[in-house]
């Protein structure tokens, strides 16, 4: 018997696709894009197409396991859920009694962004008073930086791209990272819109755009000031809009006047004629959307770049004429879901970026990981792994697959994929929300995150009633202000798609109630009130960039598409200077260590810049993030992945 079930992809992705899953005799046999969805539009990315293979992968964790012998050489033994939970609870009790709840750390992130998968299961850890991370590894710095000027970081909605005359992808490889947003931009282009890509690398988006601007890595603030200089000094700004809706324009104009053309060209490597061309496009082609990539703000100057890029549309009279992420524009009470607002216990919050050193030092005696793979994704990776291998650190991982983190755990618990449970996903780009149905029963002995949370809570004697609240009742309360229509919950449960109610585009949650070119909050905090261009990266080394590829979502789908390729792209001039040919094995080294990759000689990267697929493992099994420093940004504490500098040398001929 064949039937169709509608599910929602919950991965860390802009598109949050609606999928139609085909089921025959209780098994998933295929998936396709939902043609009725205004963003998914009937097609899926390479990951969505192969979700069936991931569901039935031989790498699935299907039963509870405990480690036999010391890490990392010990093996795993299959056990019952009862035994596994007893082992976990016994260790939890002993750690709390001896070291206190602060020594417990829960680590989770966006492996599955469902409300019932990521958020609600955190209630146990808040009830215990355990330590948590600050979620700074991804988009936090950009959010905080843009919010300095706008109050909150929400902006353009994806479907509005259809009416745009200009779309600027600034550090945003949408053709790979957001294929459905890219498809919308293509429709805008057919209607006469112009696409611009700003990226040091000739990315897939840059290759397919009308104009490609290639600034030196980390020089985006200087580039933005160049565009603003052209607009201001040639009277191409909307003075009426600036007078009515902004604060601090005089300070911005004064700052821009200090930037002469030669300085901008020297810092960015971009000719002034290209900067003028971009400025003219902003002035002439309205409305426009500046699509600020999350990867843009993952550098030493990342937060500064995001805030600088966001200010350009304001000069030409557009309210929030940028897109970064709309997650802070929705009215969803996530603090209620997680339990953060339900307890008075103080939970220590630590840097997710700098977690490796804390774990290596043995600060935490019990680490519970779900919905993430930190033993591959965090910077200063070898320090983090050394911490997990300590004899006095007990690690529990609840996951769908045998991830790198699971292989370093003491107890591994099986979790269902999103196809094996129902959930609700809140997108961070578009506003359409619908319930994701359960397509098939959980494989093996997989148990969802909420079931495990409540089992542990009962065994530990946790008395807080809110830990045991009926899940969908909690979701209904958290969404009470999100949709602005009656009977919203019953409509969602019946399968109806609803629109989130966004905060007004012309509302600014700043001290002045206006767009602040010169940020009042930043000045009060001792942060530069205007975007600041940091010192350029050291020229004596190569700058290593890493970004996503089309077949992987972070470390997911390696069981389907094979390992993330251990490659590094090198400009032909650099390859000649280093004596490197395509296929050679090369070492990339810095103060943290070395990784060995296979060279690809290509003019897709400029001289002095290297590119490697994000989160790959090298030819000797060393993670790429072993050489990524855990340096944090001043604004938001975010990572600096794309400011990594390395030496390069050939080690063998391909």
Residue range 372-381: average pLDDT?
98
The pLDDT, as a whole number, for residue 627 is: 98
Q: Residue 384 — pLDDT band, cuts 50, 70, 90?
A: very high
φ, ψ for residue 29 (rounded to 5)? -115, -10
3-class DSSP state of 567: strand
Residue range 402-416: average pLDDT?
98
Q: Is 306 exposed, middle or buried (0-12, 13-18, 19+ CB in 10 A)?
A: buried
Locate 486 and state its tokens: 């009656």
β-strand partners of 589: 594, 647
Q: Looking at the predicted structure, is the pLDDT value of residue 539 above 80?
A: no
Q: Residue 538 — pLDDT band, cuts 50, 70, 90?
A: low
Residue range 231-244: average pLDDT?
98
Q: Is residue 572 part of a domain?
A: yes
* Rounded Cα gap, residues 414 and 399, in angstroms: 6
Q: Is residue 594 part of a domain?
A: yes
Rg (CA), the chain: 25
Q: Is residue 516 part of a domain?
A: no
Q: Residue 536 — pLDDT band, cuts 50, 70, 90?
A: low
The pLDDT, as a whole number, for residue 1 is: 78
Q: Are 82 and 199 in a shared domain?
A: no
Average pLDDT score, the chain:
97
Residue range 274-283: average pLDDT?
98
Write out pLDDT tens, residues 491-504: 999 999 999 999 99
CATH number at residue 631: 2.40.40.20
Q: Residue 334 — pLDDT band, cuts 50, 70, 90?
A: very high
Residue range 360-383: average pLDDT?
98
Q: Are 590 and 551 in a shared domain?
A: yes
The pLDDT, as a whole number, for residue 73 is: 84
The pLDDT, as a whole number, for residue 537 is: 63
Q: Are 233 and 257 in a shared domain?
A: yes
Q: Are 352 and 322 in a shared domain?
A: no
CA distances from 166 to 41, 103, 317, 320, 400 (A): 22, 51, 14, 15, 42
470 CB neighbour count, 10 Å cutoff: 8
- DSSP characters over 459-514: HHT---GGGG--HHHHHHHHTTTTS-STTHHHHHHTT--EE--PPPTT---STTSS
The DSSP element (H or E) to which 453 belongs, if any, is: helix 449-460
Write out pLDDT tens, residues 19-32: 999 999 999 999 99
Q: Residue 2 — pLDDT band, cuts 50, 70, 90?
A: confident
The pLDDT, as a whole number, for residue 300 is: 95
Residue range 123-133: average pLDDT?
98
Q: DSSP secondary-structure letter at 410? A: S
* Spatial CA neighbour of 546 closest among 368, 382, 379: 379
Q: Where are the beta strands (DSSP E) in 415-452?
A: 423-424, 432-433, 435-436
Q: Residue 161 — pLDDT band, cuts 50, 70, 90?
A: very high
Q: Are 119 and 145 in a shared domain?
A: no
CATH number at residue 11: 3.30.200.210
The pLDDT, as a whole number, for residue 86 is: 98
Q: Is residue 514 part of a domain?
A: no
The pLDDT, as a whole number, for residue 544 is: 97
Q: DSSP secondary-structure letter at 617? A: B
Specify the pairing of strand 609-613 against strand 567-570. Answer: antiparallel
The DSSP element (H or E) to which 20 belongs, if any, is: strand 18-24
The pLDDT, as a whole number, for residue 340 is: 98
The answer to whether 199 and 604 are in contact (CB under 8 A) is no
Dihedral of the alpha carbons of 501, 504, 505, 510, in degrees to the nearest 10: -130
Q: Decide: pTM greater than 0.85.
A: yes
* Spatial CA neighbour of 399 closest among 414, 421, 417, 410: 414
The DSSP element (H or E) to which 358 belongs, if any, is: helix 355-360
Q: Is residue 508 part of a domain?
A: no
The pLDDT, as a whole number, for residue 72 is: 85
Q: Are 19 and 73 in a shared domain?
A: no
The pLDDT, as a whole number, for residue 98 is: 98
Q: Residue 323 — pLDDT band, cuts 50, 70, 90?
A: very high
Write out pLDDT tens, residues 595-637: 999 999 999 999 999 999 999 999 999 999 999 999 999 999 9
Residue range 438-451: average pLDDT?
98
* Spatial CA neighbour of 646 closest among 576, 578, 595, 603: 595
Whose structure tokens read 């992968």?
A: 57
* Spatial CA neighbour of 569 closest among 530, 604, 541, 531: 604
Locate 514 and state its tokens: 């206006």
Q: Residue 74 — pLDDT band, cuts 50, 70, 90?
A: confident
Report how many domains make up the chain.
4
Write out pLDDT tens, residues 39-53: 999 999 999 999 999
Range of 49's domain?
2-55
Locate 84 and state its tokens: 């596994």
Residue range 245-257: average pLDDT?
98
The answer to whether 164 and 181 are in contact (CB under 8 A) is no
Taking the mean position of all CA atoms in its chain, how far away is CA 29? 30
Kindly tell me the number of DSSP H helices and DSSP E strands found in the chain.
24, 28
* Rounded Cα gap, residues 236 and 228, in angstroms: 9
The pLDDT, as a whole number, for residue 198 is: 98
Q: Is residue 228 part of a domain?
A: yes
The answer to whether 352 and 134 are in contact (CB under 8 A) is yes
Q: Looking at the predicted structure, is the pLDDT value of residue 652 above 90?
A: no
Q: Looking at the predicted structure, is the pLDDT value of residue 540 above 90?
A: no
State the distance between the two ends of the chain, measured CA to CA, in whole angstroms: 52
Q: Is residue 493 part of a domain?
A: yes
Residues of the chain above pLDDT 70, percent: 99
Q: Are 373 and 468 in a shared domain?
A: yes
3-class DSSP state of 601: strand
Q: Looking at the predicted structure, is the pLDDT value of residue 427 above 90?
A: yes
- DSSP characters over 46-98: HHHHTHHHHHT-TTB--S-EEEESSTTT-EEEE--HHHHHHHHHHHHHHHHHH
CATH number at residue 278: 3.40.228.10
């Amino acid at each position: 018997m064949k039937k169709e079930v509608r599910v929602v992809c919950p991965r860390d992705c802009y598109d949050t696709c609606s999928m139609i899953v085909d089921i025959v005799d209780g098994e998933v046999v295929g998936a396709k894009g939902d043609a009725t969805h205004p963003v998914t539009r009937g097609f899926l990315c390479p990951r969505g197409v192969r979700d069936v293979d991931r569901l039935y992968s031989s790498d699935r964790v299907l039963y509870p396991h405990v480690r036999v012998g010391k890490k990392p050489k010990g093996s795993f033994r299959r056990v019952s859920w009862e035994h596994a939970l007893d082992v976990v609870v016994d260790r939890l009790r002993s750690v709390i009694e001896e070291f206190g709840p602060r020594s417990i750390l829960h680590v989770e992130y966006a492996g599955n962004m469902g409300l019932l998968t990521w958020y609600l299961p955190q209630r146990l850890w808040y009830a215990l008073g355990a330590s948590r991370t600050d979620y700074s590894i991804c988009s936090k710095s950009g959010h905080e930086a843009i919010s300095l000027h706008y109050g909150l970081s929400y902006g353009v909605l994806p479907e509005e791209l259809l009416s745009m005359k200009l779309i600027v992808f600034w550090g945003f490889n949408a053709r790979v990272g957001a294929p459905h947003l890219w498809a919308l931009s293509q429709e805008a282009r057919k209607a006469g819109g112009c696409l611009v890509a700003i990226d040091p690398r000739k990315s897939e988006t840059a290759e397919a755009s009308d104009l490609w601007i290639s600034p030196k890595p980390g020089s985006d603030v200087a580039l933005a000031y160049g565009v603003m200089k052209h607009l201001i000094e040639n009277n191409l700004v909307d003075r009426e809009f600036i007078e009515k809706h902004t604060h601090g324009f005089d300070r911005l104009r004064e700052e821009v006047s200090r930037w002469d053309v030669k300085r901008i060209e020297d810092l960015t490597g971009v000719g002034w004629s290209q900067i003028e061309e971009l400025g003219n496009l902003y002035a002439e082609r309205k409305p426009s959307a500046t699509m600020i990539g999350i990867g843009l703000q993952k550098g030493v100057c990342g937060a500064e770049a995001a805030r600088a890029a966001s200010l350009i549309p304001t000069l030409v009279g557009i309210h929030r004429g940028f897109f970064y992420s709309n997650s802070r524009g929705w009215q969803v009470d996530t603090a209620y879901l997680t339990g953060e607002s339900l307890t008075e216990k103080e939970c220590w919050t630590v840097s997710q970026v700098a977690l490796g050193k804390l774990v290596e030092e043995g600060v935490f005696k019990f680490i519970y990981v779900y919905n993430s793979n930190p033993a591959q994704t965090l910077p200063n990776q070898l320090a983090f792994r050394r911490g997990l291998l300590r004899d006095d650190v007990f690690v529990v991982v609840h996951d769908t697959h045998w991830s790198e983190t699971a292989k370093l755990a003491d107890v591994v618990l099986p979790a269902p994929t999103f196809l094996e449970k129902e959930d609700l996903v809140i997108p961070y780009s578009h506003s359409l929300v619908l319930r994701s149905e359960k397509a098939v029963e959980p494989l093996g002995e997989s148990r969802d995150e909420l079931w495990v949370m409540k089992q542990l809570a009962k065994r530990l004697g946790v008395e807080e009633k809110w830990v045991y609240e009926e899940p969908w009742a909690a979701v209904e309360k958290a969404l009470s202000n999100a949709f602005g229509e009656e009977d919203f919950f019953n409509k969602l449960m019946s399968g109806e798609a609803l629109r989130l109610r966004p905060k007004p585009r012309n509302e600014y949650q700043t001290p002045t109630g206006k767009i602040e070119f010169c940020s009042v909050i930043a000045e009060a905090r001792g942060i530069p009130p205007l975007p600041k261009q940091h010192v350029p990266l050291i020229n004596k080394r190569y700058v290593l960039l890493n970004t996503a590829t089309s077949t992987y979502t972070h470390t997911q789908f390696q069981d389907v598409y094979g390992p993330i390729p251990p490659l590094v792209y090198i400009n032909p001039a650099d390859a000649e200077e280093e004596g490197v040919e395509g296929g050679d094995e090369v070492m990339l080294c810095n103060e943290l260590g070395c990784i060995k990759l296979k060279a690809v000689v290509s003019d897709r990267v400029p001289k002095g810049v290297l590119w490697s697929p994000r989160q790959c493992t090298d030819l000797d099994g060393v993670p790429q993030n072993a050489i990524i420093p855990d340096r944090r940004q001043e604004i938001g504490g975010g990572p600096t992945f794309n400011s990594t500098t390395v030496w390069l040398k050939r080690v063998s001929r391909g």
